[in-house]
Structures are given as C-alpha cells and as structure tokens.
Amino acid sequence: MTGPQQVRIYTDGACLGNPGPGGYGVVLLYGDRRRELSAGFRRTTNNRMELRAAIEGVLALTRVCPVILFSDSTYVVKAMRDEWAVGWRARGWKKADRQPVANRDLWEWLLTISEPLSIEWRWVRGHAGDKENERCDQLANAAARGKDLQIDVGYEESLA
C-alpha cells in the first residue's frame, strides 16, 4: 500500500521595474495532471510576486498530501525552510536587527496556509534550464505585461 501522491509546485514572480507591474506564475504537478496559474498586478515588487506565487500554489491544493515547492527565490525558500518567518512572527514581525519585516501581510498569509501542511521548500536556480521554472517565469512575465492588472492592496496601502 502506498501513501498519498506527492504534489510538486513550481513558482516564480516577476516585476517590470521594482516596483512596477508584476506577476506570478505557478505550475502544479500531481501524477499526470498539470495546472498552471498566473495573475498580474499594476504596482508591486519582485519579492511580493515571489511570495504571491507560493501562496497561490498552496491555495490551489485540493487535498492534503505531501508537497515539494520549488522556487528560485532564496528569500522565500530560506524564510520558510529555515523558519525565519516563524521567528519574525515570534518577535512581533521584527527581524533579528529589530527592523520591521517587509511584506508582513504576505508572510502572515503564507505561514497560515502552509503550517498545517507537509511542505518541503526547495530552491532551484532561476534561468538555468529547469523546464518548469522556465515555464513559471514565462507565465509571470506574461501576467505582468497583461491588461486589466489587479491591485496589490498590501503594497499600495503601504505607500499611503
């Protein structure tokens, strides 16, 4: 008897300027099933899109099962794998140097949805020929260049 099948999630974020229009791309692989997700935002940052890609990938799961999430963002992978984000939350969303954590809204969201799951966070080198990472990059960049871009409320509210 075998356990639940593993889901592989590939993610990437892109920003045309930083800040500027941005987008995320996600590829989910489960057995022979494939699902691609992407969306664009009118004004955001690359790090926010990297985080948003991970969030959307996790939100797309339809059942609890083992997950490997691949990202070319060391910011996302180290913060989750090495539990930096857990430490930030424990310190009242302050980094070790006591400065506020950027993108707190997205970190809170990612921790909330990922903590009940079994996720292995893996870094993959960007633009190095990994087929799924390259596809995520294409999706993210196309979304950033799209029409009718969404509002990244967390980012735009931080500017007010």
Catalytic residue among 56, 72, 132, 152: 72
Catalytic residue among 13, 22, 23, 25: 13
Alpha-carbon span 152 to 37, nearest angstrom: 17
Report helix, strand or coil for 45. coil
- Nearest by Cα to 156 from 62, 47, 41, 61: 41
Q: Does the annotation mark 130 as catalytic?
A: no
Catalytic residue among 17, 82, 120, 127: 127
Contact 90, 37 (CB under 8 A): no
Q: Does the annotation mark 146 as catalytic?
A: no
Catalytic residue among 25, 40, 50, 57: 50
Catalytic residue among 12, 56, 132, 152: 12
Q: Does the annotation mark 72 as catalytic?
A: yes
Q: Does the annotation mark 50 as catalytic?
A: yes
- Please tell me what DSSP assigns to residue 84: H
Catalytic residue among 22, 23, 25, 137: 137
The residues carrying an active-site annotation are 12-13, 50, 72, 127, 137
